[in-house]
Amino acid sequence: MSEEKVGIAVLTISDTRDEASDTSGAYLAGAVEADGHRLAAKRIVPDSIEAIREAVMAWAADPAVDVIVSTGGTGLTGRDVTPEAVLPLFDKVIDGFPAVWHAISFDSIGLSTLQSRACAGIVKSTLVFCFPGSGGAVRDGWTKLLSKQLDRSTRPCNFVEIMPRLSER
């Protein structure tokens, strides 16, 4: 991780989105840079366990990527396979993430948050956060959760200050 900026890769998971229609991925890419981070990569993959795993593992092996933020595939339908793809890859699960995510989401959409299987963990020494694909979910997730935890000034603690220690054994 560079001292100045966090390298963040944005992964859109969708069978129907392309660069022109990927508003959630575009929002995240813009928010990453607007908050002073470095957009390390951006990609769209289909709702496929293999495609998701390939992208996550490639970025987890890339020293320019400190954080992966995905959008899409966390729902309950048959094609929603993001958790199935990433959970087996996690060296550690960030157990508090779903609870905080659902609290934030509940404030916006009420009980509909029950349909989200948002999750987070660490793959190698890379933080991975998986949000739903809707624009509102991505905005809430970034502005109310990740932007604060990826800010070195957030106290009493934040993800950035522990990043150099994620590869400890």
Q: What is the pLDDT of residue 2?
A: 43
Q: Phi/psi zone of residue 153: left (φ > 0), alpha (ψ -120 to 50 degrees), beta?
A: alpha
User: DSSP character for 87?
Assistant: G
Q: What is the pLDDT of residue 169?
A: 82
So what's the pLDDT on residue 19?
93
What share of the chain has pLDDT > 90, as a percent? 96
**Which residues, in sequence order, are CB contacts of 37 under 8 Å at separation 6+?**
5, 6, 7, 8, 150
Summarize pLDDT for 122-157 with one digit per residue, the tens: 999 999 999 999 999 999 999 999 999 999 999 999
**Under 8 Å CB-to-CB from 107, ≥6 apart: which residues?**
none
Query: Over the stretch 100-115, which tens digit does the pLDDT of each residue have?
Result: 999 999 999 999 999 9
At 130 the three-state DSSP class reads strand
Indicate the domain borders of the chain. Answer: 7-162
pLDDT in tens, 60-100: 999 999 999 999 999 999 999 999 999 999 999 999 999 99
pTM to 2 decimal places: 0.96
Does residue 4 register a pLDDT over 90? Answer: no
Close Cβ partners of 127 (under 8 Å, ≥ 6 residues apart):
66, 67, 68, 94, 120, 159, 163, 166
Please provide the CATH number assigned to the domain covering 7-162: 3.40.980.10
CB count within 10 Å of CB 92 equals 11
Is residue 48 pLDDT above 60, yes or no?
A: yes
Kindly give the pairing relationship between strand 7-13 and strand 67-71: parallel
